[in-house]
Amino acid sequence: MHVRKLGQGLEVSAIGLGAMGMSQSYGPNPGDRDDMIGVIRYAVEQGVTLIDTAEVYGPYDNEILVGEAIAPIREQVVLATKFGFDIRDGRSQGTDSRPAQIRRAVEGSLQRLGVDAIDLLYQHRVDPDVPIEDVAGTVGELIGEGKAHHFGLSEAGTTTIRRAHAVTPVTALQSEYSLWTRDPEEEILPALAELGIGLVPFSPLGKGFLTGTLTADSTFAPDQIRSKIPRFQAESLRANQAIVDHVSALAADRGASPAQVALAWLLAQHPFIVPIPGTRRRERIDENSGATAVALSADEMADLNALVDRIGVVGERYDEAGMRAVGL
């Protein structure tokens, strides 16, 4: 596995692992908890060092799972988790990044994860009611106390990033970025390059779309996140199929999978980009890790860069409530 550096010199594997889907969002949770622990440990055996979770995943269940999985291999893992929600009665009631709440959340995460410090501590979503300077200052204090090592933001805009970075250096921004979600390119990526901050794309495979395993006939149960996303409605899937068909054809020519091409494209954008595809299966760990060996040519990159402009994407990446949650 190749390694890369995010901001502040934090070195991680070029491909990380997003653990969210092991506890929520993608249909019935796996019945065999030991199997999910095995998948996480297998990923680390294959050289994956960045493991991503959050208190709100479950809520709480995912941190407990990840904590159990990494307990015997803690020194091999760069552990990322997130705060930023008011969680009551097992559900998020909205954003809450007040300093006292951040501290409560971090103490809970440390206990559930079974660790003394969180390697990369993200604000999960920007809280419009709390100045980002207060958030950054609180995380800076936690870093000074040894309870966290690095500060991250998620789905933040350039102004927020700059304001936070001026108080406590930001190591990474986690935002959605993939071949069919290109939002960070115009403003975010140039700002990150200027400030020396890494980008950790979540949903780098378009929530499974770019793997080529979904069709217009695919259906999603109500408990699946894709059932609520406009891009995954049948008409949108049918229209967007041209994108994945193009990626699949290129992959076939290269002897790679569509997922590997999609991840290789992301890796080629900037050296500070570290995608965190999620999976519940060992074979997907191998497949995703193999993307680091796929070197796309300049012509292939130019073709993929122009793909969305040429074909277009039908449907938003979130429903109305989701768009509001990320400030759009």
Beta partners for residue 79, in sequence order: 51
Detail the DSSP E strand segments found in the chain: 3-5, 11-13, 17-18, 50-52, 78-83, 85-88, 91-95, 118-123, 148-154, 170-176, 198-202
Distance CA 170, CA 115 (A): 22
Is there a contact between 176 and 183 (Cβ–Cβ < 8 Å)?
A: yes
Indicate if 318 belongs to the active site: no
Is there a contact between 112 and 60 (Cβ–Cβ < 8 Å)?
A: yes
Distance CA 321, CA 315 (A): 14
Q: Which of 26, 57, 122, 177 is catalytic?
A: 57
Give long-range contacts, CB 8 A cutoff, 24+ apart: 139-145: 139/102, 139/168, 140/167, 140/168, 142/102, 142/103, 142/106, 143/168
Find, among 253, 232, 245, the residue nearest to 297 by Cα: 253
Find, among 293, 287, 216, 227, the residue nearest to 257 by Cα: 287
Is there a contact between 110 and 145 (Cβ–Cβ < 8 Å)?
A: no
Region of 224 on the Ramachandran plot (φ > 0 left; ψ -120 to 50 alpha; else beta): beta
Find, among 279, 275, 280, the residue nearest to 1 by Cα: 275
Residue 129, CA distances (Å) to 53, 84, 142, 301 in order: 24, 12, 21, 41
Distance CA 294, CA 291 (A): 5
Active-site residues: which are they? 57
